[in-house]
Chains A and B, each alone.
Chain A
Amino acid sequence: MANTYPTVIGFSKGFAMTRFERHQRFLTRGVMSPDIAEREAIAQEVRRQADFFTGFSEDEEALLREIWSDLLNGTRELVFAKTSATRRMIGTGD
């Protein structure tokens, strides 16, 4: 009987991950980073891969897009935080 089960058999978590797990992990690394440059680099890499969000189940794709939303929305907040701090420092803030 044909083996219909995933091609990846993991010895331990993080060692052999599915494509979904790899994408989820990559995006999450960005979301959890307080470093704007690192977040932007991850976003750039995701944008470079045209098929990053395709080829998944509907639930999986939605989850990846949720994390992607958090990555971009969070970066926006960090940029704002940094801008506000700079303005406070040079005394132009409100």
Chain B
Amino acid sequence: MQGVEREPSLGPEQIPPDQRIPNDQLLRGASAVEVIGAVRSWLQANFPPPRSVRVQIAESEEDIARIEHKWRRLAERKGLPRSQGDIDRNVRAARLFNEVVLLPQVLTEFGGSIWQRARAARTLAHEWWHISRLAEGSFPPFEEGSADVFADLALRRMTGFDASKVGFRQYPKQAQAVEALLEVFGEPWLFESRKVFNVSFWLERSLLEAGYPPSWLSKL
């Protein structure tokens, strides 16, 4: 057999639009890596994190193994068991300190349909929220709910698509609670949570200042 023609890859203009995503311009890159770059730059420009963050792309098993090897040493240096550098192959994104690695499933989506690209962009936004947090090594209240709210907010501004209504949310109940707090305190408050060193303390203080009694806080 000769002259096996390579299937032409879709140019940015040829990817069919998705009627659910009003503005897909940012997602129309020619390759997955290009789209990740565009989304990452957009996040950096619109929601600059208070510390440097590192987004890595694992294209293959070799990539994952290489990053894993590095992470195991990094974990050890920080006084953690080596196994904390392990990367589970079923995750979409793994995070260690200020580094996040996107696994092949997410990479494939970034090069897929507009819908898949939007979903992958939401995953990156979700992780962006976590790695933007200055307070390392803690488990603050509402961390996942606020990541959900942020991911929706970012995707809405990026594409005009309201993901909060379609079941993309991982933690709908906690996200609703965060939205209720947002109504009380406003958006800048939400972003303050990335800049403080002790999120629990900061949350408690802002609630007390807003007049919520300590008895209410103990339920958090």
Q: Which A residues contact B (CB, under 8 angstroms)?
A: 28, 31-32, 34, 53, 58-59, 62-63, 65-70, 72-74, 76-81, 83-84, 87
Contact = CB atoms under 8 A, between A and B. Distances in A.
Given A69-B94, A72-B88, 8 more contacts: A62-B123, A66-B92, A66-B170, A68-B91, A69-B91, A76-B84, A80-B80, A81-B138
Given A66-B92, A69-B93, A87 B126 contact: no
A65 B105 contact: yes
Contacts of A69: 91-95
Interface residues of B, number: 32
Given A65-B105, A83-B80, A34 B171 contact: no
B90 A73 contact: no
B49 to A, nearest CB: 16
Interface of B: 78-81, 84, 88, 90-96, 105, 109, 116, 119, 123, 126, 130, 136-139, 143-144, 147, 167-168, 170-171, 174
A87 B88 CA distance: 27
Contact of A77 (B88, B137, B147): B137
B80 to A, nearest CB: 6
A4 B95 CA distance: 41
Contacts of A65: 90-92, 105
Contacts of A53: 90
B119 A73 contact: no
5 contacts: A28-B170, A31-B170, A32-B171, A63-B170, A68-B91
